Amino acid sequence: MLKPHHSRALFLDFDGVLHPPEAIAGARPPVTANQIRKSFPSTFQHLPTLRDLLHKHDDVAVVVSSSWRLFLSDGELNALLAPISMWFVGSLSRYKGKDEAIRDWLVHHQVNDFAVLDDVAQFFPEGSKSLILCNPKRGLSDPAVQGQLREWLQFPSH
């Protein structure tokens, strides 16, 4: 649920951003948040970095754009994202492609300032100046990605 102080949105992918794709190798949906935590301990390894970057930016709403939204509820996603749960507001529609779902979310919530953390540029066929593209092996551990996110966080466009 978007809160009144949220004026910006960060759309968050998981695989290739919060952990390398290998961290979840072998998982087949449906899986629960508890199964993921127990069976795939290398997942979400960059979550502390994201928490540190978001610190002092309570105007940012984190919206899950990851395909994980297709098989986990917002409650389960929130449990997995516990270190950043104060920023988490939900996930995108399960019934649309990522790019279209992001555009719909922005219109519905009347948010103009946003960034997208993802490792697949092809999900955004129209291109996006708001895309912070990650190398899937390094994800958010990459200092260049951290720098781009830090710049967006420090210089809102509203």
Q: How far apart are CA 28 and CA 118, in angstroms?
A: 21
Residue 119, both tokens: 């490792």
pLDDT in tens, the chain (158 residues): 677 778 999 999 999 999 999 999 888 777 888 889 899 999 999 999 999 999 999 999 999 999 999 989 999 999 999 999 999 999 999 888 899 999 999 999 999 999 999 999 988 776 678 999 999 999 999 999 999 999 999 988 75
Q: How far apart are CA 70 and CA 52, in angstroms?
A: 27
The number of C-alpha atoms within 13 Å of 41 and in the hemisphere containing its C-beta is 1
Strands (E), 13-149: 60-64, 88-91, 113-118, 131-133
Place of tokens 């950043």: 84
Q: How far apart are CA 74 and CA 39, in angstroms?
A: 20
Cβ contacts of 76 within 8 Å, gap of 6 or more: 32, 33
Domain boundaries, the chain: 8-154
Homologous superfamily of 8-154 in CATH? HAD superfamily/HAD-like (3.40.50.1000)
